[in-house]
Amino acid sequence: MSNDDCLFCKIVNGEIPAELVYESDSAVAFRDINPQAPTHCLVIPRKHISTINDIDPGDEQIVGSLYTAAREIAAQEGIADAGYRAVMNCNEGAGQSVFHIHLHVLGGRSLSWPPG
């Protein structure tokens, strides 16, 4: 379930501090250390899954729970109605730098599309 070398597993296990904003049985969310918007949270599964490519059919409930977490966080942060982005990068070419899947929840400013 947990990967000894993984930064986000260490946050799940409380070995590295983070400003938690949400917790459930399957997911944890915390503020990004380098925020790109007034609200920038990362929603991660408690289970270590390296990339979207490593999601198994049995993980569907866990991955779905990342979106219910995003919904809760958007409401908490007061950005639900104005709009926000929930996005997951897969592998280096898309900008993934931490290899434990995470949904970026970004809001509190206008967000352009397409992203760079």
Binding site for ligand 5GP (CB under 6 A): 7, 18, 30-34, 42, 89, 95-98
Q: Is 9 in the site for Zn ion (CB under 5 A)?
A: yes
Find the shortest distance in angstroms from Cβ 9 to ligand 5GP. Answer: 12
Q: Which does 100 bind (CB under 5 to 8 A by kind): ligand 5GP, Zn ion, none?
A: Zn ion
Kindly tell me the number of DSSP H helices and DSSP E strands found in the chain.
Answer: 2, 5
Candidate residues 40, 48, 102, 104; the one interacting with Zn ion per rule CB under 5 A: 48
**102 counts as catalytic:** yes
Q: Is 6 in the site for Zn ion (CB under 5 A)?
A: yes
β-strands 27-31, 20-23 pairing: antiparallel
Nearest to 105 by CA among 68, 73, 64, 76: 73
45-56 as b/e, with b when 16 or more CB fall inside 10 Å? bbbbbbeeeebe
Q: Which does 98 bind (CB under 5 to 8 A by kind): ligand 5GP, Zn ion, none?
A: ligand 5GP
Candidate residues 46, 100, 102, 104; the one interacting with Zn ion per rule CB under 5 A: 100
The C-alpha angle with vertex 7 and arms to 92 and 12, in degrees rounded to 5, equals 125
As annotated, the active-site residues are 102
